């Protein structure tokens, strides 16, 4: 007998997401992904000054803020063909890489790991055995017997208080949890440690960006971060040394803790390399420009169709016509007027809420398509693009971990594959941040002190697009400038691609598609659905954890 399960809201994400599934014999047979909040910033931007767009656009989200600022400023620079000095590129790249490090640490430990780690089991763990396990995996430190006893003490005090906050709705003791008490204690202790290390990465971003979240240092043509090694009021030797220190600490955590925990999880839950397969189409754009024209990039992009392991189309830069011209968005099942597929430059965000009806309209999320295909974006897309375009670091990491876990590249189209790919991306981001810090220092030492190319917005009419390979995937901001004002603005964000509803042809988006055939152990506690949805790191809009201070339900799971 079929059942209908509704999870509303899905927590431990950014934004408000509802998931509905139909289940027959405890197996998912149909699914609907519904973004439950209207964004509207594109409408707010109409009539504003193009040079100010980035400061508005990064308010799309309170977590992935840097990425929208970067994509927005690039859209204006693309429209006006503006060059960015090398120091400006290097400083932007440094912020991008450090933000990615912070974002991936937060996702794994604080948003996703609790789908796999049973916190209540930690109190049963033997601290001595946990210490031996930890020391067999890494020499990171903080893994003594007393360290784990202290974690248990903190946890017991927290549980005894009865004020569980965001942990109150966890599926603790679920039969799909497989880690031993000692493994649970180890990963939970790293959950706490990760809070400090993600903060270090955020602080490093703020040294350059002025604050975090919502950086303050971008201008059309570069950055407003003055560079002078001898001036106490600018980015100087002391500030760069602070960045290097924090960067090194976070890199060590990623290498010696995050990746080891990820491999442990992947090994214990090996069956999840065969669960959560998505549409099999991928897209990623080049990132980290190396020249003032943004024509050369540290890592290239690519498009994959129909589950092919060979790349369909290499994307070498952000001016690729094949990329730009084949993106459309459909509102057939979204709460907007103009349901027909439109290119973002012609797109609109005119809301028309008609109530939830999965046979008609059921989400605020549009349905982006590339050449009429649903497509997944994110770390899997980027690591596959890097692998097939010859990025040595990406290829080395994938080959090493494929060998360690006895998998091949086809296994990345899965729930566990997405988690693993995000770990590679965290390592790559750390290496990249150090690379651009060195490049910045070398360039300044060579006598180049330029960090911006001051640019006035000219009269006339211009269109541009700013691409950015953000932590969650390909981000694009499309801008239409007319008479020095914004005529139209559309952002197609990674979670728009992944959380996409059905399109005018009835084709599901990646979230929906990846839930089909998922087997549930307990229909009243659909943990398996959350594991797959969280593997995408959804960012529906700006949000934090939903907490009811009066102790009421924050998540409703209805089984009908």
Report the candidate in 105, 352, 111 with the shortest Cα–Cα distance to residue 252.
Answer: 105
CA angle at 295 for the pair 289 and 297, rounded to the nearest 5°: 35
Is the pLDDT assigned to residue 544 strictly greater than 50?
no
State residue 548's pLDDT score: 34
Higher per-residue pLDDT: 401 or 38: 401
Query: What is the set of active-site residues?
Result: 14, 61, 64, 68, 472, 495, 539, 542
Q: Which residue has the tokens 């509802």?
A: 18
Phi, psi of 471 (to 5 degrees): -55, -30
Report the candidate in 491, 531, 490 with the shortest Cα–Cα distance to residue 511.
Answer: 531
pTM of the entire predicted model: 0.94
DSSP assignment of 277-329: ---S-EEE--EEE-STTS--EEE-EEEE-TT-SS-SEEE-STT-HHHHHTEEE
SS3 at position 436: helix
Residues 70-88, mean pLDDT to the nearest whole number? 98
State residue 556's pLDDT score: 57
State residue 552's pLDDT score: 44
State residue 551's pLDDT score: 42
Lowest-pLDDT choice from 155-164, 209-218, 259-268: 155-164
The CA–CA distances, whole Å, from 327 to 94, 218, 390, 474, 496 equal 29, 27, 26, 12, 12
Lowest-pLDDT choice from 184-193, 304-313, 535-544: 535-544
CA angle at 385 for the pair 379 and 386, rounded to the nearest 5°: 90
CATH of 85-164+171-276, one of 1.10.645.10, 3.40.250.10, 3.40.50.300, 3.40.920.10: 1.10.645.10
Q: Are 311 and 302 in contact (CB under 8 A)?
A: yes
Handedness of CA 75, 78, 81, 82 (dihedral sign): positive
State residue 553's pLDDT score: 45
State residue 557's pLDDT score: 61
Q: Are 337 and 292 in contact (CB under 8 A)?
A: no
Q: What is the DSSP letter of 115?
A: G
Q: Which two tokens stand for residue 46?
A: 């109409």
Q: What is the DSSP letter of 337?
A: S
What's the chain's average pLDDT?
Answer: 93
Q: Are 495 and 539 in contact (CB under 8 A)?
A: yes
pLDDT digit string, tens, across residues 318-358: 999 999 999 999 999 999 988 889 999 998 778 899 999 99
Is the pLDDT assigned to residue 39 strictly greater than 80?
no
User: Which residues, 6 or more positions from 375, have their beta carbon under 8 angstroms from its beta carbon?
Assistant: 279, 281, 282, 283, 303, 368, 369, 497, 510
Q: Which two tokens stand for residue 302?
A: 């690519």
Place 254 in a pLDDT band, splitting at 50, 70 and 90: very high
Report the candidate in 83, 77, 167, 165 with the shortest Cα–Cα distance to residue 122.
Answer: 167
What is the distance between the alpha carbons of residues 278 and 275, in angstroms, rounded to a whole number?
A: 9
Q: In what order do the strands lie in the sheet with 313-315?
A: 313-315, 301-304, 282-284, 376-377
Instruction: Provide the percentage of residues in the chain whose pLDDT is more than 70.
Output: 96
What is the distance between the alpha carbons of residues 268 and 437, in angstroms, rounded to a whole number?
A: 37
Place 559 in a pLDDT band, splitting at 50, 70 and 90: low
Higher per-residue pLDDT: 226 or 536: 536
Residues 509-531, mean pLDDT to the nearest whole number? 96
The CA–CA distances, whole Å, from 546 to 166, 502, 549, 553, 554 equal 7, 28, 10, 10, 6
What DSSP element (H or E) covers 18? strand 17-24
Binding residues: 42, 61, 64, 539, 542, 545
State residue 468's pLDDT score: 98
Report the candidate in 149, 116, 115, 153 with the shortest Cα–Cα distance to residue 130.
Answer: 149
State residue 161's pLDDT score: 83
DSSP assignment of 151-185: HHHHHHHHHHHT--GGGTT--TT-TT----HHHHH
State residue 549's pLDDT score: 34
Residues 531-560, mean pLDDT to the nearest whole number? 59
What DSSP element (H or E) covers 463? strand 461-470
State residue 216's pLDDT score: 94
Lowest-pLDDT choice from 155-159, 432-436, 490-494: 155-159
Q: Are 306 and 313 in contact (CB under 8 A)?
A: no
Binding residues for Ni(2+): 61, 64, 539
């Amino acid at each position: 007998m079929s059942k209908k399960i509704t999870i509303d809201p899905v927590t431990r994400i950014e934004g408000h997401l509802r998931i509905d599934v139909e289940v027959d014999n405890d197996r998912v047979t149909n699914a609907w992904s519904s973004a439950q909040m209207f964004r509207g910033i594109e409408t707010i931007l109409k009539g504003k000054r193009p040079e100010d767009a980035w400061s508005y656009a990064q308010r799309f989200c309170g977590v992935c803020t840097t990425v929208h600022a970067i994509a927005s400023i690039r859209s204006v620079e693309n429209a006006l063909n503006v060059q960015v000095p090398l120091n400006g590129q290097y400083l932007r790249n440094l912020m991008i890489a450090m933000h990615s490090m912070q974002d991936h640490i937060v996702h794994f430990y604080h948003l996703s790991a609790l789908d796999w780690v049973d916190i209540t089991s930690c109190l049963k763990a033997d601290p001595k055995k946990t210490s031996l396990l930890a020391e067999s995996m890494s020499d990171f430190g903080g893994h003594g017997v007393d360290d784990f006893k202290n974690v248990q003490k903190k946890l017991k005090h927290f549980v005894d208080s009865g004020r569980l906050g965001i942990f109150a709705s966890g599926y603790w003791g679920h039969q799909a949890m497989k880690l031993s008490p000692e493994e649970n204690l180890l990963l939970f202790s790293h959950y706490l440690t990760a809070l400090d290390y993600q903060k270090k990465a955020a602080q490093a971003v703020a040294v350059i960006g002025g604050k975090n979240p919502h950086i303050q240092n971008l201008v059309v043509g570069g950055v407003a971060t003055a560079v002078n090694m001898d001036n106490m009021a600018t980015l100087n030797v002391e500030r760069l040394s602070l960045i290097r220190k924090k960067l090194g600490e976070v890199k060590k955590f990623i290498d010696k803790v995050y990746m080891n925990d990820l491999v442990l999880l992947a090994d214990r839950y090996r069956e999840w390399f065969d669960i959560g397969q998505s549409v099999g189409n991928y897209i990623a754009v080049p990132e980290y420009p190396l020249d003032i024209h943004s024509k050369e990039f540290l890592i290239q992009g690519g498009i994959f169709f129909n589950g092919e392991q060979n790349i369909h189309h290499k994307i070498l830069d952000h001016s690729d016509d094949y990329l730009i011209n084949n993106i459309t968005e459909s509102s057939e099942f979204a709460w907007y007027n103009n349901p027909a597929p439109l290119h973002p430059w012609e797109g609109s965000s005119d809301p028309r809420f008609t109530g939830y009806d999965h046979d008609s309209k059921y989400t605020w999320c549009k349905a982006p398509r590339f050449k009429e295909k649903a497509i997944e974006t994110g770390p899997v897309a980027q690591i596959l693009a890097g692998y097939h375009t010859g990025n040595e670091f990406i290829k080395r990491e994938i080959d090493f971990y494929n060998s360690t876990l006895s998998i091949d590249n086809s296994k990345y189209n899965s729930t566990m594959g997405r988690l693993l790919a995000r770990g590679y991306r965290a390592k790559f981001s750390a290496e990249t941040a150090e690379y651009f810090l060195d490049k910045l220092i070398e360039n300044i030492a060579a006598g180049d002190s330029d960090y911006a190319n001051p640019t006035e917005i000219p009269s006339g009419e211009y269109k541009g697009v700013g691409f950015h390979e953000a932590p969650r995937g390909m981000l694009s901001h499309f801008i239409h400038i007319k008479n020095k004002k914004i005529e139209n603005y559309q952002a197609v964000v990674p979670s728009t691609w992944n959380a996409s509803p059905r399109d005018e042809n009835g084709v599901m988006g990646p979230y929906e598609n990846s839930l089909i055939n998922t087997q549930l152990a307990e229909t009243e506690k659909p943990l398996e659905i959350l594991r797959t949805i969280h593997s995408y790191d959804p960012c529906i809009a700006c949000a934090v954890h939903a907490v009811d201070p009066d102790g009421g339900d924050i998540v409703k799971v209805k089984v009908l």
